[in-house]
Structure 1
């Protein structure tokens, strides 16, 4: 039955395709191939012939017979004007400026430079003998000896002051170290040791009792409930899958092979119930817990 329906649908599709081509495709292809393409080719050839003989040929004639001679004449005129202006600029501007530079400006510049060099030499000699030489004499024979004496005195004072400050710093360090050790020992016996004793003697046993009596039973019960829910959901999914397979075989027929699981369905892995290990002496919940070492308590004196 299913094969007959499929064959009939395929034959109907082929017939419908032939009818669609005969009504909408082949007429337009024939119109394009046997009417529009020849007409367009003829129109294009005609337009190209008209453009060539009505525009290109007259334009080439005008360019050769009119524009080229006129352009050559204009270029000749501009060349003549350029040569005339160049001759006038050379004889009216360049040659007079060159003569003025060589015969007037150069001698005047040399004279001004000689006068400036003489004035500079005189000023330099005046400054040397009125400022530089006295300043060098004062530095060499007055300021340098006084500066060396002051530097020696300052060095001696700074060295002695530094030595005294170093001795005072070391003494203060010894005193502060002794005070710090005393304060640290006092804080240790007042705060740290009592807190350590409370943690070892009170908080640790209470925490172990809460973990063994309350936390572990609750955690095991939650895990067992989660496993039960997952098993129930897996059984429900399997029932739905089998029911769907039976309905599909009843409606469409089949070989009776079991249905493959869906790509997204992942079977629930089987888990064995974990059995806690028996307690032994010195162990708690399967982990070695060494007895806490007894530190110095409040009553220990060292």
Structure 2
């Protein structure tokens, strides 16, 4: 299934101004960018060569040196010094602190705690008896007395509250209500009507002044600024944006063309170097050095290697025979000084050997013998 390709957009016709700006810009940019791109490609090739031949080996050597100087000593110190010392300190701490502390807790603090708990339970039982037999009746009696006193005080307080409330109603509330209804409310309404009228007049004044200032600012500032933007700044900005876009596209096009030129120039140099240096060296290696090396190998190296192998084989045989002779002489001297070595005594094994061993088909098993 083939994917549907998007329809190609029709190219819009370009005016003479576009062509007149684009061609000189692209020519000038191409002339300026080609040397820069060739220098850039040369720097890239040099950087890759230095990375592969200098920086990477030096970095690996520095990494190995850092490990040997910093990492491995600390690893050895941790593994062979700190860990054993820590284990020894942990063992000493356990023997000198933990075990005595556990013994003291188990044989001293636990019995003392049980005794204190028993004593606390006894004291608690005594306090409970005192509370139940003494404090509770006394509390009930005090509660009954306080209830009676509270009822009497409540009756007296209710009467006093009623009298004070009646006095406050007819001495304060009724006069204040009459004053608010017949004096303060009419005065407040008149003041509010005056304030609303004054606000309406001020609103009219502010509206007129604002409209005058708005039209003055619009005529003196907004309309000239709008005309300046529409007829001068916007066309100049569009022209500058067009020039900047064309310069950017020219830079991109020139950079790509310079890359192709630089690649072609590099390939030409590589081909020239190959035909001037690499191919002659390869031809000399194949037609001169390889036959000479084969002749030297067949005439000198292989015979010398075969002779060295024969000498080594003879030397090993001589050393083996000398070693066997020395071993035999040492055994003879030991036998002459200490006598024959003691022979091992045969010991009967529990299991029968060889053909006398038990089997499933034999009648000597524990299940089948009579």
Normalised to the residue count of structure 1, the TM-score between the two structures is: 0.42
Structure (1/2) with the larger helix percentage: 2
Report the TM-score, using the length of structure 2 for normalisation. 0.35
User: Higher relative contact order at CA 8 Å, sep ≥6: structure 1 or structure 2?
Assistant: 2
